[in-house]
Chains A and B, each alone.
Chain A
Amino acid sequence: MPILVNDRPVFVPDDARVSLLDLLRDRLELFGTKKGCNQGACGACTVLLDGERVLSCLTLAAQCEGRAVVTVEGLAADGALHPLQQAFIDHDGFQCGYCTPGQICSAIGMAAEAARGMPSVVTADLEATDILLDRDELRERMSGNLCRCGAHNGIIDAIGEVFRGPESAGGAPR
């Protein structure tokens, strides 16, 4: 069975060592997914695997057989921008742009987790099923995506605006 990458069937590579990340970048030339550390420590390679955010650098391509992968290239139809991509532009949620695809994919997966009621370590009431994605929740849930340029405020503002509404965008003045 092939892997579905942005709805396109892709054959599993013969070499079992090939990570999902290297499949995307080296074999499919889908360079939107970034290699920051190849150690599971930076989040730049985050993609959605069957809708869940995962690190493609530590996922073997072979493990994805029969599963659906969505990368940053698959978030919006040609020419369009996903609302979160637009929000990243509006809030200057990046500088160099290298961690950006991972941040965006991670945030989309994160929002789905929160919508399912998944708590985080800063959720005060562990049994609550309605998660209010306040600034602390977003910061904690996005902490697996490093940014070295220091766009953190803009990233959190952008995610807050898209997944919680514009009133959450406060906090990073100017």
Chain B
Amino acid sequence: MSLLDTVRDAAGRLTGHPEPGAVPDPLIGKPGAIGRSLPRIDGPRKVRGAARFAAEVPADGLLYAAVAYSAIARGRIAFLDTTAAERAPGVVLVMDHRNAPRLKPPALFMTKPQAAGASDLPIMQDDSIHWNGEAVAVVLAHTQEQAEHAAALVRATYEEAPATLDFEAAKRRSRHPDSVMGEKPVLEQGDAERALADAPVSVDLIFRTPRHSHAAIEPHAVTAWWEDGALVLHDATQVLNGVRWTLADMFGIAEDRVRVLSPFVGGGFGGKGSLWSHQVLAAAAAKLAGRPVRLNLSREGVFRLAGGRTPTEQRVALGAREDGTLLSLIHTGCVAMTPHNNCPEQFTFPARHLYRADAIRLEQSVADMDMLANTFMRAPGESVGTFALECALDELAEKLSLDPIELRRRLEPERDPTSGHEFSSRHLLRCFEMGAERFGWHRRAPTPGTRREGEWQIGLGVATATYPYQRMPGGAARIVLNRDGRAVVSMASHEMGMGTATAQSQAAADRLGLPVEDVTFEYGDTSLPAGTIAGGSSQTASIAAAVAAAAAVLATELLKLAGNDSPLAGLGVDEVEMRDGGIGAREQPDRHERYDSILRRAGRDELVADAKAPPPRELKRWSMHSFGAQFCEVRVSAVTGEVRVSRFLGAFDCGRILNPRTAASQFRGGIIMGLGLALTEETQFDPRSGRIMNPSLAEYHVPVHMDVPPIEVVWTEQPDPRAPLGARGIGEIGITGVGAAVANAVYNATGRRIRDLPITPDKLL
């Protein structure tokens, strides 16, 4: 290492390197709290039912809200009769487009730094209707029963306008979106169609995936009130600061006049990652009534007002040489979207980064429909994109008489196939090796339909999992170091089951050189330094980068405070590290002073350090992705076509694992949602009315306990040298590849390829 490198290294350790990722995080490889399977800090509260969710915040004079929904997809309200509702017992007011406060439309997600609108349609500002189920009125009453009864008394008649409600028809008028999450909708390297036509071995297949609902068990809910022109909103959200900024913008008030709190979220999965209409309606109604309002959406309301994953139709065509190497990789297709949102379900993203191919063609189109805005749901794009890509690869492997894992080995690229960037860390093949050994992949019968126990046909399937590393800009953290040497670390971040407070306490403890018991992590409130969205598996890295920056500021302040009477005297910030409850000179174990000692001597009760995270420039320089291998065993009834997943294993390469206990749960959770995607889940959108017909947990089938086998989870534990803590996110990769692993296992069991999800019994009869 040159002298210059050493200096840079030292600078990177504490002050935040000007090029994020250029120097590996010094916490990588350092023993500490990271890596320990600590139980969840909020566990006792959750098992006692003492964790307070958004609909559980008491307020004096609280009014309960209920929503009346439109029964048409497009047109205008011709006549709205709210008299019966207004006269119903207990009703305080009925809000509709005629009396709702005047509001700007929400700024659409990604159009401004903090914009969080799921759509940019105006909310209850005029008589126009844009989707079947849009809110036409909100009733406020003294009890929930009264509000719901009155909402049912709202009568609307409509002037219907022609609407595009059939995906099949809409597809014929599909268009390229302006961008697919910042990427161009078409990517071409070479002439992939020509290469496909000339390839000695090829597959050319169409896959379909349906609409999905996040179906978090906690319905979307808010408790809202106004105090002296300022809004307090207890929300169930994954995007605190986005909700705050967007609401302030809509209501025309300063951002600091809105406070959003969300300490616990009862499951999000992307469904609570936007500002939907219900938060706006609750805030508007509370303003109109001058009283606190609780709007706890009914389950139907969740389906009507908060969007889900959109349907896709995908083509995957692969042209290969006899040895399996790809001459051509084509992944194209279309999804349903609306002109008022921007969520094109980036299903082509896996194909950008996974496999080597001579020619590549990727193309995404959207078909505009008159429907509730679709949105991101756990691994948007990757979850359904890997279904198509990884099933196609399985079909190609069979044509080549190659083991599917061997085929992937032959396609392993040295650099990112489309960006040409160096991978920050990639151990996909190691995932296949680990998984194959533990799962007993060698027991797979190469010929489908040959293993059977009674009526049950048994098959094994495998697929690649992948999800990008992401870190969001704009995050900031605060560290408050107390006189007793304990630290409170805070950021307006989110806990919806990931174990945020637990893992971040561990990370902050190691960052500050404190025992984990001496660190408290505060989150869930916009009065704290700005957080970033809990989405895109980005939150852990986003918080860690902000905390590292704040720690560097803290160290600088501590050195100033320590002064000349300290063993640290004369040391610059580049020469010290935080360890053993204080600051010490690097490579001089004896030169150290504890935090409490520094603060006491300086006569300070506390020391506060604030910092913003550096922009995520590492993303521009390296190809940063997580990888995995999903292994599935199914049993398929030859009588009924029922599919039972009997074993499952996921092997993951996600960088460093901060807390094996909570990480394993997140991986399993993703996999289980993937089992639903594979086998049971479909939101029924009636193409005649544009109405969702199964807005119910009885008819929208998420997996139940009986659907879930023991799921084994292993990981490579290879730290990513370019990511804070060496960790890439883990919240979403679990669902990717599962649909394909299941479908490929079903094929191995039965000899039937099912390319339309979900794989319900009728498709296997």
Q: How far is the CB of B51 from chain A (nearest CB, A)?
A: 5
Judged by a CB distance under 8 angstroms, whether B712 is at the interface is yes
Q: How far is the CB of A153 from chain B (nearest CB, A)?
A: 6
Q: Per-position contact with B for A80-118: 1 when CB-CB < 8 Å, else 0?
A: 010001101110101111111100100000000000000
Measured CB to CB, the nearest residue on chain B to A88 is B47
List chain A residues, Cβ under 8 A from B52: 31
Judged by a CB distance under 8 angstroms, whether A51 is at the interface is no
Judged by a CB distance under 8 angstroms, whether A41 is at the interface is yes
**In the complex, which of the residues B267, B665, B698, B734 contacts A148, with contact meaning CB atoms closer than 8 Å?**
B267
Q: Say whether B145 contacts A143, CB under 8 Å.
A: no
Scan residues 261-280 of chain B and give those whose CB is less than 8 A from a CB of chain A.
264-269
Q: Per-position contact with A for B683-701: 1 when CB-CB < 8 Å, else 0?
A: 0000000000000111000
Q: Say whether B698 contacts A41, CB under 8 Å.
A: yes
**In the complex, which of the residues B267, B673, B705 contacts A156, with contact meaning CB atoms closer than 8 Å?**
B705
Expressed in whole angstroms, the Cα–Cα distance for A155 and B217 within the complex equals 16
Measured CB to CB, the nearest residue on chain B to A42 is B697
**In the complex, which of the residues B48, B218, B665 contacts A81, with contact meaning CB atoms closer than 8 Å?**
B48
* Total chain B interface residues with beta-carbon distance under 8 A: 68
Most buried by A among B217, B219, B498, B710: B217
Q: Say whether A96 contacts B266, CB under 8 Å.
A: yes
Given that A15-B145, A17-B145, A98-B217 are contacting pairs, would A92 and B48 also be in contact in the complex, using a CB cutoff of 8 Å?
no
- The number of inter-chain residue pairs (CB within 8 angstroms) is 198
Expressed in whole angstroms, the Cα–Cα distance for A89 and B38 within the complex equals 10
List chain A residues, Cβ under 8 A from B46: 94, 96-97, 100
Q: Say whether B704 contacts A97, CB under 8 Å.
A: no
Given that A89-B40, A94-B47 are contacting pairs, would A145 and B697 also be in contact in the complex, using a CB cutoff of 8 Å?
no
Q: Say whether A99 contacts B217, CB under 8 Å.
A: yes
Q: Say whether B697 contacts A138, CB under 8 Å.
A: no
**In the complex, which of the residues B266, B661, B713 contacts A97, with contact meaning CB atoms closer than 8 Å?**
B266
Measured CB to CB, the nearest residue on chain B to A95 is B497
Q: How far is the CB of A95 from chain B (nearest CB, A)?
A: 3
Q: Say whether A155 contacts B705, CB under 8 Å.
A: yes
Interface-side segment among A32-40, A62-70, A126-134: A32-40
Q: How far is the CB of B52 from chain A (nearest CB, A)?
A: 7
Q: Say whether B49 contacts A25, CB under 8 Å.
A: no
Q: Per-position contact with A for B391-410: 1 when CB-CB < 8 Å, else 0?
A: 00000000000000000000
Q: Say whether A85 contacts B217, CB under 8 Å.
A: no
Q: How far is the CB of B377 from chain A (nearest CB, A)?
A: 12
Q: Say whether B49 contacts A151, CB under 8 Å.
A: no
Expressed in whole angstroms, the Cα–Cα distance for A82 and B670 within the complex equals 29
Q: How far is the CB of A75 from chain B (nearest CB, A)?
A: 8
Q: Say whether B49 contacts A72, CB under 8 Å.
A: yes
Given that A153-B711, A172-B710 are contacting pairs, would A36 and B53 also be in contact in the complex, using a CB cutoff of 8 Å?
no
Judged by a CB distance under 8 angstroms, whether A56 is at the interface is no
Q: Say whether B44 contacts A96, CB under 8 Å.
A: no
Expressed in whole angstroms, the Cα–Cα distance for A140 and B708 within the complex equals 10
Expressed in whole angstroms, the Cα–Cα distance for A148 and B680 within the complex equals 14
Q: Say whether A37 contacts B218, CB under 8 Å.
A: no
Q: Say whether A138 contacts B705, CB under 8 Å.
A: yes
Judged by a CB distance under 8 angstroms, whether B10 is at the interface is no
Scan residues 688-739 of chain B and give those whose CB is less than 8 A from a CB of chain A.
696-698, 702-706, 708, 710-714, 734
Given that A26-B144, A150-B673 are contacting pairs, would A73 and B48 also be in contact in the complex, using a CB cutoff of 8 Å?
yes
List chain A residues, Cβ under 8 A from B703: 152
Given that A38-B298, A41-B697, A174-B660 are contacting pairs, would A95 and B47 also be in contact in the complex, using a CB cutoff of 8 Å?
no
List chain B residues, Cβ under 8 A from A42: 217, 697
List chain A residues, Cβ under 8 A from B670: 150
**In the complex, which of the residues A44, A89, A154, A174 contacts B217, with contact meaning CB atoms closer than 8 Å?**
A44
Q: Say whether A152 contacts B672, CB under 8 Å.
A: yes
Judged by a CB distance under 8 angstroms, whether B482 is at the interface is no
Q: Say whether B713 contacts A174, CB under 8 Å.
A: yes
Q: Say whether A146 contacts B48, CB under 8 Å.
A: no
**In the complex, which of the residues B58, B662, B697, B705 contacts A39, with contact meaning CB atoms closer than 8 Å?**
B697
Q: How far is the CB of A70 from chain B (nearest CB, A)?
A: 12
Measured CB to CB, the nearest residue on chain B to A99 is B217
Q: Say whether A96 contacts B218, CB under 8 Å.
A: yes
Q: Say whether B269 contacts A148, CB under 8 Å.
A: yes
Q: How far is the CB of A121 from chain B (nearest CB, A)?
A: 9
**In the complex, which of the residues A81, A90, A146 contacts B704, with contact meaning CB atoms closer than 8 Å?**
A146
Q: Say whether B44 contacts A89, CB under 8 Å.
A: yes
Judged by a CB distance under 8 angstroms, whether B664 is at the interface is yes
Most buried by A among B144, B666, B712: B144
Q: How far is the CB of A81 from chain B (nearest CB, A)?
A: 7
Judged by a CB distance under 8 angstroms, whether B669 is at the interface is yes
Expressed in whole angstroms, the Cα–Cα distance for A29 and B276 within the complex equals 27
Judged by a CB distance under 8 angstroms, whether B143 is at the interface is yes
Q: Say whether B39 contacts A92, CB under 8 Å.
A: yes
Q: Say whether B264 contacts A150, CB under 8 Å.
A: no
Q: Say whether B711 contacts A172, CB under 8 Å.
A: yes
Q: Say whether B665 contacts A39, CB under 8 Å.
A: no
Judged by a CB distance under 8 angstroms, whether A3 is at the interface is no
Expressed in whole angstroms, the Cα–Cα distance for A161 and B720 within the complex equals 37
Measured CB to CB, the nearest residue on chain A to B46 is A97
Q: Say whether B53 contacts A31, CB under 8 Å.
A: yes
List chain A residues, Cβ under 8 A from B266: 34, 96-99
Q: Say whether B217 contacts A39, CB under 8 Å.
A: no
List chain B residues, Cβ under 8 A from A33: 49
Q: Say whether A145 contacts B49, CB under 8 Å.
A: no
Judged by a CB distance under 8 angstroms, whether A139 is at the interface is yes
Q: How far is the CB of B272 from chain A (nearest CB, A)?
A: 11
Judged by a CB distance under 8 angstroms, whether B459 is at the interface is no
Expressed in whole angstroms, the Cα–Cα distance for A72 and B703 within the complex equals 24
Measured CB to CB, the nearest residue on chain B to A86 is B47
Judged by a CB distance under 8 angstroms, whether B56 is at the interface is yes
**Interchain Cβ contacts under 8 Å between A and B, 10 examples:** A15-B145, A41-B697, A81-B44, A92-B39, A92-B665, A98-B218, A99-B217, A100-B47, A148-B217, A174-B664
Which residues does A use to contact B, with CB under 8 Å? 15, 17-18, 22, 25-26, 29, 31-42, 44, 71-73, 76, 81, 85-86, 88-90, 92, 94-101, 104, 135-136, 138-140, 142-156, 171-174
The 4 tightest CB contacts between A and B, nearest first, are A32-B49, A95-B497, A150-B669, A98-B266
Other A-B contacts than A37-B299, A85-B47, 15 sampled, CB-CB below 8 A, are A25-B56, A26-B144, A34-B218, A36-B697, A97-B47, A97-B264, A97-B497, A98-B266, A136-B706, A139-B705, A144-B704, A146-B702, A148-B673, A150-B708, A153-B711
